Structure 1
Amino acid sequence: MILPSWLTNSHFVILGLQLIFVIIHSGGAALRPWAEKNIGHRLYRFLFALASLPLAAMLIIYFFNHRYDGVQLWQVQAWPGMVYFVWFLSAVSFFFLYPATFNLLEIAAITKPQVHLYTTGIIRITRHPQMVGQIIWCIAHTLWLGTSFTVVTSVGLVLHHIFGVWHGDCRLTWRYGSTFEKIKQNTSIIPFAAILDGRQTIKWQEFIRPAYIGVAMFVLFLWWSHPLLIQTTSRFELFLTIILVNII
């Protein structure tokens, strides 16, 4: 079977990297109860981050450097206001993607990392904010770039997070039983569904938290540093390629 010329190897590489990340990240999450019992909470967090973060960085770098691979399916970058619309969607996505910023000390293992059953704030909108944030991010970047590589990347990311919804609910059900089942009954996966059918009510005062200021500052930093970030990732992949060639 002869593949079309536009279907470059990068389409398959990004899917392969995503699959490896799913195995390491979701597998590590599944092992958490056993690992925390046998090696401790802090060491588990360190090893989990050591395995996940470098691969996540590699995925981001590879995506930046190959985002225009394949065929150009549409081109909307010149449309009036499109750049602001895409940045707006991206900013909204980060407010969903990083609810864990509420516990930065736990992320860094300065305090004991724990599993939390959140029931307020963004959880009233959706029980799985990271999945929603990832979908919004994918919509924004796929719309902006319009390439087959970006479509393939986005499909892989969305499928990963849909799996994460099922996997996360299973782990929390196993760990907390009826307590988590009650949370499931009062929340929804689809954004605003539980609010629309009367199971939830938004309480805006719950969103007045320092963490959201941090997310807003991070979005502004990305806006400012985005061109520099793209240049840096390009040089980094070239650097890694040179090292691998010399080693081989």
Structure 2
Amino acid sequence: MIQLTAAAAFFVMIHLLISGTSVRDGVVRRIGEGPYMALFSLLSVAGLTWMIMAYGQARGEVWNTVYWGVGPATRHTQILLQLIAVFFIVIGLTTPNPTSVKQEGVLEREDAVKGMLRITRHPFLWGVALWASGHLIVNGDRASMTLFGTLLVLALAGTTSIDAKRRRALGDRWEAFAQQTSNIPFAAILAQRQSLKLGEIGLWRALAALAVYVGLLLGHPYMFGVAALP
């Protein structure tokens, strides 16, 4: 448990206490944007790898208490959550978005708020949050709670962290974009600041997301050793 906890703490620290604060700004001023991004990417990959390896080891330990079981209802809920999560993740990653790395130039476009961004300006992170939530409900052991709970908290906190970072860097340009969008999915639409236009998302993005989802469902036993389907 010590290894998994340490790995989770490290992963959270580099994202929320460095990347998500003014510490990042100071480091960038000292070493430059390029070297910072390379170093941060290296630390992120190392931290995620450490956490996954520690999780794999922790699942077989005697202390890994299971707090709840899995029934048909939770399995079917998980399958639905993963479908929504994969759509948010894949469509989010393929949609130009000023919240993404090196895509601040999207703010200069007249159609900066388009497709999935009408639903939320952080589709990828909300997809990760849904993915982690789904895995939590079907994995009630301590190790899984640490891994997926960490990723859930980090994804949700990351939305506000990125907003603050973009606000510091982009000022009024960011404010104009933020006022037209929402962090929480569908909040801007419910507030009538936006309208839902599913056609803007693009059929190819939806089909790509569906293909990834089916691939994960069928390949889950081979990739992770656990069947995703009931």
| Class of the TM-score when normalised by the shorter of the 2 chains | 0.7 to 0.9
Q: How does 1:36-115 map to 2 (within 5 A)?
A: 39=32, 41=34, 45-67=37-59, 70-77=64-71, 79=72, 82-98=74-90, 99-102=92-95, 113-115=102-104
Deviation (angstroms), 1:102: 4.2
Q: Give the number of equivalent residue pairs.
A: 212
Deviation (angstroms), 1:220: 2.4
Deviation (angstroms), 1:141: 0.9
1:20 aligns with 2:10: yes
Q: Give per-residue Cα distances to partners, 1:152-201, cap 9 Å, x unaligned.
A: 33332232233322221111111111121122222222221211121111
Which residues of structure 1 form unaligned runs of 5+?
1-8, 232-248
Deviation (angstroms), 1:52: 1.5
Residue type of the partner of 1:85? Answer: T
TM-score w.r.t. length of structure 2: 0.74
Q: How well do the aligned residues superpose, as a CA RMSD in angstroms?
A: 3.3
Q: Give per-residue Cα distances to partners, 1:75-103, cap 9 Å, x unaligned.
A: 124x2x65343122113112223423447
For 1:137 and 1:40, how far apart are their aligned partners in 2? Answer: 31
Residue of 139, 146, 171 corresponding to 1:145? 139
Alpha-carbon spacing, 1:68–1:192, altered in 2? closer, same or farther (3 Å): farther
Q: How does 1:175-190 map to 2 (within 5 A)?
A: 175-190=169-184
Tell me the equivalent position of 2:217. 223
Residue type of the partner of 1:142? Answer: L
TM-score w.r.t. length of structure 1: 0.69
Tell me the equivalent position of 2:129. 135
SS in 1 for 2:144: helix
SS in 1 for 2:185: coil
Alpha-carbon spacing, 1:113–1:198, altered in 2? closer, same or farther (3 Å): closer
Q: Residues 126 and 192 of structure 1 are in contact (CA less than 8 Å); yes or no, is this contact kept in structure 2?
A: yes
Which residues of structure 2 form unaligned runs of 5+?
226-230
Alpha-carbon spacing, 1:82–1:23, altered in 2? closer, same or farther (3 Å): closer
Deviation (angstroms), 1:228: 2.0
Alpha-carbon spacing, 1:76–1:170, altered in 2? closer, same or farther (3 Å): same
For 2:196 and 2:75, how far apart are their aligned partners in 1? Answer: 30
For 1:136 and 1:51, how far apart are their aligned partners in 2? Answer: 24
Tell me the equivalent position of 1:237. none
Residue type of the partner of 1:60? Answer: I
Q: Give per-residue Cα distances to partners, 1:101-157, cap 9 Å, x unaligned.
A: 447xxx9xxxx9443555222221122223322321122111112223323333322
Q: Residues 36 and 44 of structure 1 are in contact (CA less than 8 Å); yes or no, is this contact kept in structure 2?
A: no
Q: Percent identity, aligned pairs only?
A: 25
For 1:21 and 1:32, how far apart are their aligned partners in 2? Answer: 19
Residue type of the partner of 2:135? Answer: H
Alpha-carbon spacing, 1:13–1:223, altered in 2? closer, same or farther (3 Å): same
For 1:193 and 1:24, how far apart are their aligned partners in 2? Answer: 29
Residue type of the partner of 1:215? Answer: A
Alpha-carbon spacing, 1:25–1:212, altered in 2? closer, same or farther (3 Å): farther
Q: How does 1:167-206 map to 2 (within 5 A)?
A: 167-206=161-200
Residue type of the partner of 1:57? Answer: T
